[in-house]
């Protein structure tokens, strides 16, 4: 049997892509014509239908070849109808997911077609390394993080979780190194955590944070610090997202005598409320504390760091104050697949400390992976495989590059501003509604306090006033399949959470849909 020709393969790909675009256009236009509503989730019957078409391990034809044409037909007719419209509707408001800008999708297809691995930066071999670095530089400028050279160890990751793992791994390396005897030539990476801590006289490494994301605890486990190393130092239970700087200072001082080393992690922002750990003067103070005590500062800015691209108008000044100074951190984690609206999976890790980052991620003893020294034209670009988790990896920079090139700073700024404005319209409606309570309510942000709105980024947390309705609120809202939201727990009670993160969001149109759903659910409950 001969291989298909290039013409046959090309025709197969074109047909598949044309079918896909046609199917999606039908989904988008049939809904938008009448009500503008695209059901976020696939209908349950198509989901159960799909499950019956998956390969059956007991069948005699299990793993018999189906061939590309029949396989693609199966993907289009059986799998596609059961995938959610997460990217197609701006009203998939659960988690923080983002969608996929068309230019990013096109770039992503190019990445798959050429399948270059952005692993070793070989300047004569492929442009991948240069394009990646160009995307990272644009991102550093977009987020106003200072000069590109301040972030020499910059790389793409699979997401903020991977970036948080890198942040804690670098933090661990740094805080232990800082206490190793001057004459000790071995690095933490060589010795490993246990021996290095023993030599450095460290009994414990703690991660000081406020309302840290779950992935931070996961990262702490993976890098050998353990969940229990994550220590919440919050200003108060009313504002658990705010970092208590006095407590951080006490911990750092105490740590020097007690053999405790610290990594400080800034939640920018917190995933339930979208609120931020720091205020306008906090980062310079934290920086000098960390320098004095040999601590490492990592920012988990997965979605929140994008507040820095908002216009500097009055309505966004509160948010700007909460993301001020983040450029003073030692390392930063952020997601491109959320607010930046590129396809999964794409995150970024930025580190100021090239020596520490390389020490942690270096492939030792792999001469064949080392770029020849003649290729020093690119000396500023560190080999991706020595500053990140993966060795072989996808050229995932290209969709980010395409979005930054296509939208520029003004385009991204107005996209994020639209997200914030929609979130605030919804928050304002909830605040004034007789049926709902806008959270987080605290003494300092009572229902009439305007800061409840000016501090709203892209997330709206709320609950139903009626406790019985509140028990099933999220299910009732999602059952209508007009919007899709997440449930969570806030101060020991169930709560609902809306996160606006799709480039398609339209403030007026989408607000009307969300308002109608929230009103219908509340009114049909109170008048059975
Ligand atoms: C989403 C998120 C993460 C995890 O990011 P992934 O892209 O899912 O790996 C970490 N921190 C915060 C604050 C997040 O919102």
Band (375; pLDDT cuts 50, 70, 90): very low
User: Read out DSSP for 220-250?
Assistant: HHHTTS-GGGEEE-BS-SSSTTSB-HHHHHH
- Are 460 and 485 a contacting pair, CB within 8 Å? no
From the CB of 435, is ligand 1 less than 6 Å away?
no
d(CA 79, ligand 1 centre) in Å: 27
- Which helix (H) or strand (E) segment holds residue 159: the answer is none
Is the pLDDT score of 446 beyond 60? no
Whole-angstrom distance, CA of residue 261 vs CA of residue 241: 22
- Number of C-beta neighbours around residue 366 at 10 A: 12
Q: Which of 259, 140, 160 is nearest to 218 (CA)?
A: 160
Residue 300 Cβ contacting ligand 1 at under 6 Å: yes
CA–centroid distance, 220 to ligand 1, in Å, is: 14
Res. 377 pLDDT band, cuts 50 70 90: very low
Whether residue 160 has pLDDT greater than 90: yes
Q: CB under 8 Å to 119, separation ≥6 — which residues?
A: 369, 384, 385, 390, 391, 392, 393
* Structure confidence at residue 370 (pLDDT): 64
- Provide the pLDDT confidence category of residue 376 given band limits of 50, 70 and 90: very low
The fraction of the chain above a pLDDT of 70, given in percent, is: 95
CA of 337 to the centre of ligand 1 (A): 10
Over the stretch 176-205, which tens digit does the pLDDT of each residue have?
Answer: 999 999 887 899 999 999 999 999 999 999
User: What average pLDDT does the segment 299-316 reach?
Assistant: 98
Q: How far is the CA of 238 from the centre of ligand 1 (A)?
A: 23
Inform me whether the pLDDT recorded for 130 exceeds 50.
yes
118-122, 149-153, 408-412, range with the lowest pLDDT: 118-122
pLDDT of residue 261: 98
pLDDT at 449: 78
CA distance 40 to 283: 39
DSSP 117-133: --SS--TTT-SHHHHHH
Which residue has its alpha carbon closest to ligand 1 atom 12?
302
d(CA 447, CA 331): 36
Quick one: average pLDDT of 363-371?
72
Q: Is 282 left (phi over 0), alpha (psi -120 to 50) or beta?
A: alpha
Biggest CA pair distance of the chain = 77
Say if residue 248 is exposed, middle or buried (CB neighbours under 10 Å; 0-12, 13-18, 19+): buried
- For ligand 1, atom 2, the nearest C-alpha belongs to 302
Residue 413 in contact with ligand 1 by CB distance below 6 A: no
User: How crowded is residue 451: how many other Cβ atoms within 10 Å of its Cβ?
Assistant: 11
Residue 174 in this model has a pLDDT that exceeds 80: yes
Any ligand 1 atom below 6 A from CB of 347: yes
How many other CB atoms sit within 10 Å of the CB of residue 350?
A: 28
pLDDT at 107: 98
pLDDT of residue 199: 97
**Tokens (6 digits) for 155:** 């790389």
How far is the C-alpha of 221 from the C-alpha of 165, rounded, in Å?
Answer: 9
Q: Please, what's the b/e burial string for 303-327 (b: 16 or more CB within 10 A of its CB; e: otherwise)?
A: bbbbbbbbeeeeebebbbbbbbbbb
Average pLDDT over residues 127-144: 97
pLDDT, mean of residues 492-501: 98
CB 335 less than 6 A from any atom of ligand 1: yes
Ligand 1 center–CA 365 separation, angstroms: 33
Q: What is the DSSP string of 461-509?
A: EEEESSHHHHHHHHHHHHHTTSSB-EEEEETTEEEEEEE---TT--HHH
The response to whether residue 215 sits with its C-beta less than 6 Å from ligand 1 reads: yes
Is 212 touching ligand 1 by the criterion CB < 6 Å?
no
Kindly give the pairing relationship between strand 260-267 and strand 296-300.
Answer: parallel
Per-residue pLDDT averaged across 132-137, rounded?
97
CA-nearest of 39, 87, 89, 95 to 458 is 95
* Best of 271, 347, 488 for a ligand 1 pocket test (most atoms within 8 Å of beta carbon): 271
Residue 373 has pLDDT above 90, yes or no: no
What is the C-alpha to C-alpha distance for residues 248 and 296, in angstroms, rounded to an integer? 12
The residues pairing with 267 across neighbouring beta strands, listed in sequence order, are 300
For residue 496, count CB atoms less than 10 angstroms from its CB and return exposed for 0-12, middle for 13-18, buried for 19 or more: buried
pLDDT tens per residue, range 197-251:
999 999 999 999 999 999 999 999 999 999 999 999 999 999 999 999 999 999 9
Residue 527: the pLDDT is 65
| 103 within 8 A of 403, measured Cβ to Cβ | yes
Q: Can you tell me the distance from the alpha carbon of 430 to that of 441, in angstroms, rounded to the nearest whole number?
A: 12
Q: Domains of the chain by range and CATH?
A: 118-393 (3.40.640.10), 408-526 (3.90.1150.10)
Measured distance CA(259)–CA(210) in Å, rounded = 22
pLDDT band per the 50, 70, 90 thresholds, residue 2: confident
**Spacing, Cα 22 to ligand 1 middle (Å):** 33
Average pLDDT over residues 430-452: 81
Q: Is 303 in the pocket of ligand 1 (CB under 6 A)?
A: yes
Taking CA atoms only, the protein residue closest to ligand 1 atom 1 is 302
Residue 302 Cβ contacting ligand 1 at under 6 Å: yes
Substitution site in 335, 342, 500 for ligand 1 pocket (most atoms within 8 Å of beta carbon): 335
Residue 251 Cβ contacting ligand 1 at under 6 Å:
no
pLDDT-based confidence at residue 34 (cuts at 50, 70, 90):
low
Task: Reply yes or no on whether the pLDDT at 44 is more than 90.
Answer: no
pLDDT, tens only, 237-249: 999 999 999 999 9
Q: Residue 439: helix, strand or coil by DSSP?
A: strand
Question: Which residue from 95, 96, 161 has its CB within 8 A of the most atoms of ligand 1, so it is best to mutate?
Answer: 161
Residue 58 alpha carbon to ligand 1 centre in Å: 39
């Amino acid at each position: 049997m001969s291989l298909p020709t290039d013409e046959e393969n090309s025709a197969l790909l074109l047909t598949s892509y044309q079918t896909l675009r046609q199917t999606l256009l039908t989904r988008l236009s049939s809904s938008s014509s009448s009500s503008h509503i695209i059901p976020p989730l696939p209908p349950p019957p198509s989901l159960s239908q799909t499950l019956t078409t998956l390969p059956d391990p007991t069948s005699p034809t299990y793993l018999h070849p189906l061939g590309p044409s029949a396989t693609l037909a199966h993907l289009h007719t059986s799998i596609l109808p059961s995938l959610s419209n997460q990217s197609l509707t701006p009203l998939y408001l659960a988690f923080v997911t983002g969608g996929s800008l068309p230019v990013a999708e096109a770039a992503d297809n190019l990445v798959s077609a050429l399948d270059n691995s952005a692993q070793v930066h070989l300047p004569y071999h492929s442009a991948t390394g240069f394009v990646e670095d160009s995307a990272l530089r644009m991102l550093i400028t977009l987020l106003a993080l200072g000069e590109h050279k301040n972030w020499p160890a910059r790389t793409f990751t699979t997401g903020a979780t991977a970036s948080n793992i890198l942040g804690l791994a670098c933090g661990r390396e740094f805080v232990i190194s800082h206490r190793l005897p001057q004459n000790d030539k071995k690095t933490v990476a060589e010795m490993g955590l246990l021996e290095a801590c023993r030599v450095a006289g460290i009994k414990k490494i703690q991660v000081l944070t406020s309302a840290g994301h779950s992935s931070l605890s996961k990262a702490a486990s993976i890098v050998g610090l353990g969940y229990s190393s994550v220590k919440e130092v919050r200003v108060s239970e009313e504002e658990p997202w705010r970092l208590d700087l006095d407590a951080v200072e006490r911990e750092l001082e105490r740590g020097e005598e007690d053999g405790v080393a610290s990594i400080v992690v800034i939640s920018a922002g917190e995933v339930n409320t979208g609120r931020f750990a720091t205020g306008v003067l906090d980062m310079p103070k934290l920086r000098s504390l960390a320098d004095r005590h040999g601590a490492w500062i990592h920012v988990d800015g997965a979605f929140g760091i994008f507040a820095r691209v908002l216009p500097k108008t009055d309505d966004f000044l509160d948010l700007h104050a909460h993301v001020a100074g983040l450029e003073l951190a030692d390392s930063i984690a952020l997601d491109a697949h959320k607010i930046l609206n590129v396809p999964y999976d794409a995150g970024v890790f930025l580190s100021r400390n090239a020596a520490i980052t390389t020490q942690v991620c270096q492939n030792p003893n792999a001469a064949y992976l080392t770029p020849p020294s003649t290729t020093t034209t690119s000396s500023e670009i560190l080999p991706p495989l020595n500053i990140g988790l993966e060795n072989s990896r996808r050229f995932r920079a290209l969709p980010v590059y395409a979005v930054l090139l296509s939208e520029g700073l003004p385009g991204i700024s107005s996209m994020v501003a639209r997200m914030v404005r929609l979130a605030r319209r919804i928050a304002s409606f909830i605040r004034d509604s007789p049926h709902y309570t806008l959270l987080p309510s605290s003494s300092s942000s009572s229902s009439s306090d305007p800061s409840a709105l000016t501090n709203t980024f892209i997330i709206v947390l709320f609950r139903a006033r009626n406790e019985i309705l509140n028990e099933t609120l999220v299910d009732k809202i999602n059952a209508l399949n007009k919007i899709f939201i997440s449930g969570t727990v806030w101060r020991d009670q169930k709560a609902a959470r809306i996160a606006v993160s799709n480039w398609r969001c339209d403030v007026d149109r989408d607000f009307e849909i969300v308002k109608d759903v929230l009103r219908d659910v509340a009114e049909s409950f109170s008048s059975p």
